[in-house]
Structure 1
Amino acid sequence: MAVTKLEINSRSPFAQGQPFGDTGGYEQIDGTVYFAVDPGHPANEPIADLKLATRDASGMVTFSSDFRILQPTDPSKGNRSVFFDILNRGKAPALRNFNNAPEVAPDAPMDPGNGFLMRYGYTVVWCGWQCDVPDLPGVMRINVPDAVTAEGPISGEVVVTFHPNTPTQVQYLSDRSHRPYPANKLEDWDSVLTVQEHEDAPEEIIPREQWAFARIEGDRVVPDARHIYMAAGFVPGKVYQVNYTTTGAPIVGLGMLATRDMMSFLRHGSTEQDNPCAGYVDRAHSFGVSQSGRFLRHFLYLGMNEDESGRTVFDGLIPHVGGGKRGEFNHRFAQPSSQASRSPNSLFPFSDTDQTDPETGRTDGLMRRLAAKGKVPKVMYINTPSEYWGGHGSLLHTDLTGTRDLDLLDSVRIYMVGGAQHANGSLPLTDFDPGDDIRTQQLFNCLDYRAVLRAALVNLDRWAKTGQEAPPSRYPRLSDGTAVTPGDASASFRAIPGVNPPVPLRRFTRLDFGPDPGVPTNVPPVVGNPYPSLVSAVDSDGNELAGIRLPFITVPVAAYTGWNVRHADIGGAGQTMSTGGATGGTLRGSTIPFAVTREDREATGDPRLSIEERYASKEDYLEQVRQAAQDLVDQGYVLGEDLPRLVDQCSQLYDAVASRVSVPQAAND
């Protein structure tokens, strides 16, 4: 077994011993797990540079990860199912996404929120998989060796992309303060810095003498291999890319093996091996959101869902808002936090089943390795319109010409949550986020769609346990006319006063990094032709016709989109608003309220009916919301316990929109 030791550093009551229904209290277990893997084992073959790692006396490659387990104090009261939450940049997203818990600092006590996962009896597990996470207390990481040759540490080219929202003269050479790859030489005149008006615009090389590897300290410019400095400053809204040489290549793909082997140990390890879950695991499911959702897609692509003994690791997976992407999780000089579009994040294949790219002639599919061994698990891909407007969501289920729906595997469901944005939304209604220095043309998307996640997990576990199939997939399809081009959908939005869809529209392009994706030789890549992109058609209100349509959409007080555009105040006016400081960052969505009265609507020229024209009263509105929510409960897309919560959320949203003062605005102003 690849786990050689599970070292428990602490055990303590979770949430101060709070009981969670019939499950009772929970225990929190923290520690370090140690691994040793055979670089020659066929199950480990997909990991880039593994054979270049230093080995121990037994010829094994060793590494270690932080871990945390939340387990019923009396394990016999659990549901015998592990919920393995893939960390997002070293942080645990599950309690926020399933328990409606507030976000807390990584080193603060975890907040149980509404206790959903505990009330249902899940054992919740986290294990560090990312080696470059920021050096902050409480952040979980993996410690991995570097790849080396007989000549010593490996050197090579790396590209860092950034898209500033505020004026600055200095940029750290990583995403979100992660550990960067330092430049080899401060005076490396072969390094290249380019600037673009947007990600698909022509690149302009900035003369080397105008920038340096340096930072500002007080009033001095100090040489620094981990920063770049430009006296003229980096302009908000423009796209910058710096290409330079670094030394030291951590074996990033070991995060895949840590995930696989930790879960395998918890399923099959014994009490004598200090496995706290021994004898209490019948099923295991994994969840990842955004970056970690893309990690799960990559995990499936590499065939990691079977361990070195050929045993199934996860019965079910929920890659959430990963769209058609994978990530920088398994190649030399990978940057796992990066969201850049022109990176290994965006590589073919996108769909589960095999396709042949008509331009490159390459044939591949996400599940190719697992399907060949009969090891395809149950998978629920949950996405929002943000992934579709990001240029990649439809690639999961349409062919590479954009003219045909693909058949899904029997064990796969695809759900798009209509009107939602990539990250869960919330009130109050605003267009400014001071934390990210973001301002948008429209109000931020405020939809809370976590009810869909809770139902999906219950359906997935039941499917794995009893064979009762999950509710049918819901997503935009060419066959029923709900999948259209972004340009066609944009025309519907332009009829709404003050609404301008993104320009240019996001797209995925073919990228050539060289013959071996694990060791890129074209850095940056050769850029080819774009892939087709489709989004959901919208109704006359601007709300999507496809997907799981929550009461926010079917009984609306506004239009909700998965896209928003940059405000002129932060540069790049009219471009798609993405977060994360990179061109491929996740999309912010919009809330576009209806006028409150007919008079308001006519004053602004809004063709959509006002709230007073739609609903006789707030009570009438809420009664329609209750019926719409009940329909979703009956269909299995929402749990009964979430019906009152949805009604309350719609009530708050109604009040927020009804209290707004309409200001006449010329169409397309």
Structure 2
Amino acid sequence: MVRTRRPAALAALLLGTALGLAVPAQARVTRIVIDARTTVTGQALAYEQIRGRAFGELDPADAKNAVVTDIALGVSADGKLRYEVPFSLTKPVDLSAASGFLWHDVPNRGGNVALGVVERGLGDIGLVSGWQADNAGSTVIPADRATGTNFWAAVPMARQGGQLVTGKVLGRIINQSGVASQPLVVSRASSPIPYLPASLDTTQATLTIIDKETVDGKVTVGGTVPSGDWAFARCDAANPFPGTPIDIDPAKLPSNLPVHVCVKGGFQAGKLYQVVYTGTNAYVLGAGLAAFRDVGSFFRYAQADDAGTPNPIASAVKGSAVRGVSQSGNMIRQLIYLGMNQDEANRRVYDGAWPQIAGRRVSANSRFALPDGTLELYQMGSEGAQWWVDWADTARGLPTRGIFTRCSASNTCPKVFEHFGSSEVYALKMTTEWVGTGADVDIPVTRNVRRYYVGSTTHGGGGGGFVHLPATTTGASCPGNNYGRGTLLANPVPLTQLINVLRLAMRDWVLQDKAPPPSRYPTLIGGTLVEPTQAAMGFPSGVPGIPASTFLPENFVWPVFDYDWGSGFNHADATGVPTQVPPTIKKVIPMRVPKVDADGNELGGVPTVLTMAPLGTYLGWNIGAAGFFAGQVCNYVGGYVPFARTRAERQQTGDPRPSLEERYVNHAGYVAAVREAARKAFEQGFLLAADRDSLVQAAEDSTVLK
């Protein structure tokens, strides 16, 4: 339930805000501490950075906080849940020179986000604050909090009757071999599973060997390791099984992470080991999301904290936007879905929101959730509505909802940019947002949402440039849990130029209500969004390095799974307590992908110079080279298959794609193609003039067909 405001109360609130008066006390940021001030160079205007910490409290009785899982199990004696988060403010020294625009950047896995020189040149203010509360990897809380450089959220662990709650936790060890123990990680070595076993007794846990998993969720079990043949321990050749038991004292977190598993005889290469155990130290993760909301609200609206410490940017903010990339963009979508663009004084926190390369909602508000997850098998993130408007989820039988459902009721929805690349389609299950779980109709976007799809790109975009044959012939490194390498080269198509456009467009939309470029993405009705088969896509046969088996359902396009996490889990909100771990797969949701042209490059997206004047086929997917994932889509990384230089070269390999010489004749012809592509992108509003000119110059300076 979302509170609504009576007209009289709303008028009083607006009057108080206009006069700069303090808002009556709410559960909120109550205190800030300034730890350091440093000078920021690189721009004409004098800038400084302020590093500090914010302390606040949440009231479980407030309907806007009730959505936080286990909030009542994390309260102090007075019934309030308390948190602490670090923040960083980058601002003009003289606030009278500030533009009035505030960017609130969401850290990705605890990392820093620097306010760019472009924003500083415009006089903008940058705010970064912690939100991820699982105290693992880069979100670890430093011993000396005043000198830490990462961003985290310190929240309580859930307790009942004074004791830590427990529950089932799943970990996976993939593609490892040898006698050494292996850590339990979420998606990569720097992201350990943050939950300790409640006991070292392996009879209370299971360790299963998986021989094979297909992309569409079919699992071949190879057996179960006897409880006496493995241990929660560290071991190596000098200290063999059973090794040294790990320390499971929650008071010693996170120094006793990651959790290690030691197997008698060692791990078999090319296998997956899946451990299910009873975990402890369940953080009240959703409190970190609420803390992020409160920090954003404080620096936008407050004059000072409860002790009188001034807000360093008081009265300087005219408009604001929250932005985040990948995991951080998913966090923004979850924040809005949970109604947290409304603060506890019923004000809109952010005027704009910019989730980048993010097509789901982060898993950060259920018991034992894994915010570092990347949608590998049995990881949360696609539960419930991923679309903006109210829409029926008929395939999963969930209520009609959208990301905007709660904020629409309170009139606090922001203006939204979302931009995606191709890897989000093939590995991060993004197109369900466009066509729903039925995958049979284009879900509309509202007038305050703009959607931009940059086709044929890798996750986060490539390095750009006009290089036909890169110096390295090594396949791209596949992200995630030990995927290894892909068979195809790294995809160079960048997102940089679109980001440069949208950065300015968001400011103009918020501050001046100037309309941004229209949405541009593939659609069913436009014929550019199709079934994920080679025939439907129109992908050419015979492209070197891409066998037809790539497009089989067991190898191609990670689908959304309709998981059953048990009756204690709210499958619409992705809140509550999952009791069925691993979950059963009730249904595989059909996916859609962009149609491609005769070269295999995607149609229907934002114009980009490198795909309009291509040097090869640019892919949002790659192919696993070896091990457990051999032959499958190699997680969320793209690929590149260069064209042959001459007709004779391509005929030798049977390449169906015209060669560079057949397309452009010579270097001058290629530069002319780049110039024309840049002109079109600029005229359509997707390229700045400076970027247009620099791209043409880069093409002239390149060695293509020289």
| Aligned residue type for 1:42 | A
Change (3 A) 1:234 1:26: farther
- Residue 635 of structure 1 and its aligned partner are, at CA, apart by 2.0
Does structure 1 residue 222 correspond to structure 2 residue 244? yes
Does structure 1 residue 627 correspond to structure 2 residue 672? no
Residue 202 (structure 1) aligned to one of 219, 223, 227: 219
Contact 2:476 2:486 in 1 (8 A): no
Residue 163 (structure 1) aligned to one of 174, 183, 204: 174
Q: For residues 533 and 698 of structure 2, what CA distance do their matches in structure 1 show?
A: 32
Does structure 1 residue 37 correspond to structure 2 residue 48? no
Residue 373 (structure 2) aligned to one of 329, 335, 338: 338
Q: Which residue of 2 aligns with 1:133?
A: 136
Does structure 1 residue 560 correspond to structure 2 residue 618? yes
Q: Which residue of 2 aligns with 1:109?
A: none
Q: For residues 226 and 526 of structure 2, what CA distance do their matches in structure 1 show?
A: 53
Q: Which residue of 2 aligns with 1:504?
A: 555
Change (3 A) 1:118 1:165: farther
What are the ranges of 5 or more consecutive residues in structure 2 without an aligned counterpart?
1-25, 143-147, 249-258, 465-469, 571-575
Does structure 1 residue 90 correspond to structure 2 residue 107? no
Does structure 1 residue 596 correspond to structure 2 residue 645? yes
Instruction: For residue 553 of structure 1, give the secondary structure of its aligned residue in structure 2.
Output: helix
Q: Which residue of 2 aligns with 1:425?
A: 462
| Aligned residue type for 1:559 | T
Instruction: For residue 575 of structure 1, give the secondary structure of its aligned residue in structure 2.
Output: coil
- Residue 566 of structure 1 and its aligned partner are, at CA, apart by 0.9
Q: Which residue of 1 aligns with 2:393?
A: 357
Does structure 1 residue 275 correspond to structure 2 residue 316? no
Q: For residues 416 and 167 of structure 1, what CA distance do their matches in structure 2 show?
A: 43
Q: Which residue of 2 aligns with 1:514?
A: 566
Instruction: For residue 443 of structure 1, give the secondary structure of its aligned residue in structure 2.
Output: coil
| Aligned residue type for 2:451 | I
Aligned ranges for residues 566-581 of structure 1 at < 5 Å? 566-568=624-626, 570-578=627-635
- Residue 165 of structure 1 and its aligned partner are, at CA, apart by 6.8
| Aligned residue type for 2:119 | L
Identity of counterpart residues, as a percentage? 31
- Residue 432 of structure 1 and its aligned partner are, at CA, apart by 4.3
Q: Which residue of 1 aligns with 2:588?
A: 530
Q: Which residue of 1 aligns with 2:325?
A: 289
Change (3 A) 1:281 1:471: same
Q: For residues 634 and 212 of structure 1, what CA distance do their matches in structure 2 show?
A: 63
Q: Which residue of 1 aligns with 2:282?
A: 249
Instruction: For residue 250 of structure 1, give the secondary structure of its aligned residue in structure 2.
Output: coil
Q: For residues 148 and 650 of structure 1, what CA distance do their matches in structure 2 show?
A: 61
Q: Which residue of 2 aligns with 1:307?
A: 343
Aligned ranges for residues 96-495 of structure 1 at < 5 Å? 99=116, 115-131=117-133, 132-134=135-137, 135=140, 138-164=149-175, 169-175=180-186, 176-178=190-192, 180-194=194-208, 195-198=210-213, 200-204=217-221, 205-209=223-227, 210-216=229-235, 219-220=238-239, 221-224=243-246, 226-235=259-268, 237-270=270-303, 272-323=308-359, 325-339=360-374, 340-363=376-399, 364-390=401-427, 392-426=429-463, 428=470, 429-432=472-475, 438-488=484-534, 492-495=539-542
Aligned ranges for residues 38-57 of structure 1 at < 5 Å? 38-57=59-78
- Residue 246 of structure 1 and its aligned partner are, at CA, apart by 1.4
Deviations 1:609-657 (A, max 9, x none): 11111113323322321332232222222222322343355567x64x7
Contact 1:90 1:133 in 2 (8 A): no
Instruction: For residue 355 of structure 2, give the secondary structure of its aligned residue in structure 1.
Output: strand
> Which deviates more from structure 2 when the two are superposed, residues 620-629 or residues 78-87?
620-629
| Aligned residue type for 2:633 | T
Change (3 A) 1:648 1:165: farther
Deviations 1:228-273 (A, max 9, x none): 1224444555444321101221111111111111110011111554
Instruction: For residue 127 of structure 2, give the secondary structure of its aligned residue in structure 1.
Output: strand
Q: For residues 563 and 290 of structure 1, what CA distance do their matches in structure 2 show?
A: 16
Instruction: For residue 64 of structure 2, give the secondary structure of its aligned residue in structure 1.
Output: helix
Contact 1:197 1:237 in 2 (8 A): no
Q: For residues 246 and 596 of structure 1, what CA distance do their matches in structure 2 show?
A: 57
| Aligned residue type for 1:26 | Y
Q: For residues 490 and 448 of structure 2, what CA distance do their matches in structure 1 show?
A: 35
| Aligned residue type for 1:617 | N
Contact 2:543 2:656 in 1 (8 A): yes
Instruction: For residue 415 of structure 1, give the secondary structure of its aligned residue in structure 2.
Output: strand
- TM-score, normalised to structure 2, is 0.84
Contact 2:113 2:128 in 1 (8 A): no
Contact 1:67 1:126 in 2 (8 A): yes
Q: For residues 552 and 237 of structure 1, what CA distance do their matches in structure 2 show?
A: 37
Instruction: For residue 168 of structure 2, give the secondary structure of its aligned residue in structure 1.
Output: strand
| Aligned residue type for 2:330 | R
Change (3 A) 1:290 1:483: same
- Residue 394 of structure 1 and its aligned partner are, at CA, apart by 1.3
Change (3 A) 1:372 1:551: same
- Residue 73 of structure 1 and its aligned partner are, at CA, apart by 1.9
Contact 1:266 1:278 in 2 (8 A): yes
| Aligned residue type for 1:28 | Q
Q: For residues 34 and 415 of structure 2, what CA distance do their matches in structure 1 show?
A: 32
Change (3 A) 1:28 1:151: closer
> Which deviates more from structure 2 when the two are superposed, residues 619-628 or residues 167-176?
167-176
Q: For residues 624 and 90 of structure 1, what CA distance do their matches in structure 2 show?
A: 42
> Which deviates more from structure 2 when the two are superposed, residues 214-223 or residues 36-45?
214-223
Instruction: For residue 431 of structure 2, give the secondary structure of its aligned residue in structure 1.
Output: helix
Instruction: Give me the CA root mean square deviation.
Output: 2.4
Contact 1:475 1:547 in 2 (8 A): yes
Q: For residues 698 and 531 of structure 2, what CA distance do their matches in structure 1 show?
A: 32
| Aligned residue type for 1:444 | A
Q: Which residue of 2 aligns with 1:639?
A: 688
Q: For residues 171 and 540 of structure 1, what CA distance do their matches in structure 2 show?
A: 45
Q: Which residue of 1 aligns with 2:665?
A: 616
Q: For residues 661 and 630 of structure 2, what CA distance do their matches in structure 1 show?
A: 34
Change (3 A) 1:498 1:658: farther
| Aligned residue type for 1:74 | D
Aligned ranges for residues 544-559 of structure 1 at < 5 Å? 544-559=602-617
| Aligned residue type for 1:198 | E
Change (3 A) 1:169 1:507: farther
- TM-score, normalised to structure 1, is 0.88
Q: For residues 687 and 98 of structure 2, what CA distance do their matches in structure 1 show?
A: 23
Aligned ranges for residues 16-27 of structure 1 at < 5 Å? 17-18=41-42, 20-21=43-44, 24-27=45-48
> Which deviates more from structure 2 when the two are superposed, residues 170-179 or residues 538-547?
170-179
> Which deviates more from structure 2 when the two are superposed, residues 248-257 or residues 624-633?
624-633
Deviations 1:24-68 (A, max 9, x none): 1221110111111212111111111111113254x3211101111
- Residue 434 of structure 1 and its aligned partner are, at CA, apart by 7.4
Q: For residues 375 and 65 of structure 1, what CA distance do their matches in structure 2 show?
A: 24
Q: For residues 697 and 314 of structure 2, what CA distance do their matches in structure 1 show?
A: 41
Change (3 A) 1:400 1:201: closer
Instruction: For residue 435 of structure 2, give the secondary structure of its aligned residue in structure 1.
Output: coil
Q: For residues 423 and 546 of structure 1, what CA distance do their matches in structure 2 show?
A: 19
Does structure 1 residue 11 correspond to structure 2 residue 11? no
| Aligned residue type for 2:631 | G
Change (3 A) 1:558 1:230: same
Instruction: For residue 497 of structure 1, give the secondary structure of its aligned residue in structure 2.
Output: coil
